[in-house]
Amino acid sequence: MSLSDLLLLALAGFAAGGMNALAGGGTFFSFPALLAAGLPPVTANATNAVALWPASLAGAWAARASLRPLGRYLLPLLLAGLAGGLLGGLLLLAGGDDVFRVLIPWLLLAATALFAASPWLGRWLAARRKVSKHPPHTPLSLGAHIGVSIYGGYFGAGMGILQLAAFSIEGHPLARANALKNLISAVIYSIATLTFVIAGRVSWYELAILLTGATIGGYAGGALGEKLPPALLRSFVILVGSTMTLHYFWSTYFAV
């Protein structure tokens, strides 16, 4: 690895960790940096997923007090996350680099659109939500959670927004919906990480650099969280996501 690639990954990890601590959207920095460093698309995505895994576990642990009273209610959701995350990871590995390379711009477009629309989506859901103590599981709701989990295991950017929408539509209050999102994300990233590690598609050297930068960036982002306007941060993430989307559409479909 060249010095420029090392610096690129360290800076991308720093930016990803900081943005995740401040406004979300860190994948828009880390995933393209892994591609730019020369990793094949599937390996870059697998390495990025493993880099996100510790943060997902921390989020689930932090939400344990809100989740403990739900008891057995969590079991179908955990199974949906486990099955969907495993299937998404296997689909990524089965499709290989050529298939994933074609899908990258579309996945980035979907993630950018979700991130940009999340404030309006949240308000729309809040206006229509009928809060329930324990919304019943239905085939439709569990099917939706499996679908979101498959997306999470396959790519993952914007998955949290989809999960919050699904839980809010079911009738969970926002605090519990966020706790459930953290738990299911941890399940999805855990099974996807295990799948990618067993398949040998994680690049450990690049991962170590990315995690080091992300850890420092997360600390810096947490320290700056109360000083920077959230609207400015969100606009910056949307700008980066849009730029990356246009770049990969051009390089995938139009560049010769």
Select the highest-mean-pLDDT range: 24-28, 98-102, 181-185, 234-238: 98-102
Please give the Cα distance from 256 to 250 (Å, whole number).
Answer: 10
Q: State the total domains in the chain.
A: 1
Q: Per-residue pLDDT for 121 more than 90?
A: no
Q: Per-residue pLDDT for 68 more than 60?
A: yes
Choice between 173 and 199, residue whose per-residue pLDDT is larger:
199
Choice between 209 and 171, residue whose per-residue pLDDT is larger:
209
Q: What is the pLDDT of residue 131?
A: 58
User: What is each CA distance from 6 to 14, 22, 39, 83, in whole angstroms?
Assistant: 12, 24, 13, 35
- Segment among 35-39, 111-115, 117-121, 215-219 with least mean pLDDT: 117-121
Q: Per-residue pLDDT for 29 more than 60?
A: yes
Q: Residue 180: which residues within 8 A CB-CB, separation 6 or more?
A: 67, 77, 163, 167, 172
Which amino acid appears at position 162 of this protein? L
- Segment among 126-140, 142-156, 162-176, 206-220 with least mean pLDDT: 126-140
Q: What is the pLDDT of residue 235?
A: 83
Q: Please give the average per-residue pLDDT across 130-142, as a whole number.
A: 72
Q: Per-residue pLDDT for 1 more than 90?
A: no
Q: What does pLDDT average to over the chain? A: 84
Buried b (16+ CB within 10 A) or exposed e, 178-187: bbbbbbbbbb
Please give the DSSP secondary-structure letter assigned to residue 201. -
Q: What is the pLDDT of residue 178?
A: 77
What range defines the domain where residue 214 resides?
Answer: 3-254
CB-CB contact of 99 with 147 (8 Å): no
Q: Please give the average per-residue pLDDT across 126-148, as a whole number.
A: 75
Q: Per-residue pLDDT for 222 more than 80?
A: no
Q: What is the pLDDT of residue 94?
A: 94
Q: What is the pLDDT of residue 167?
A: 80
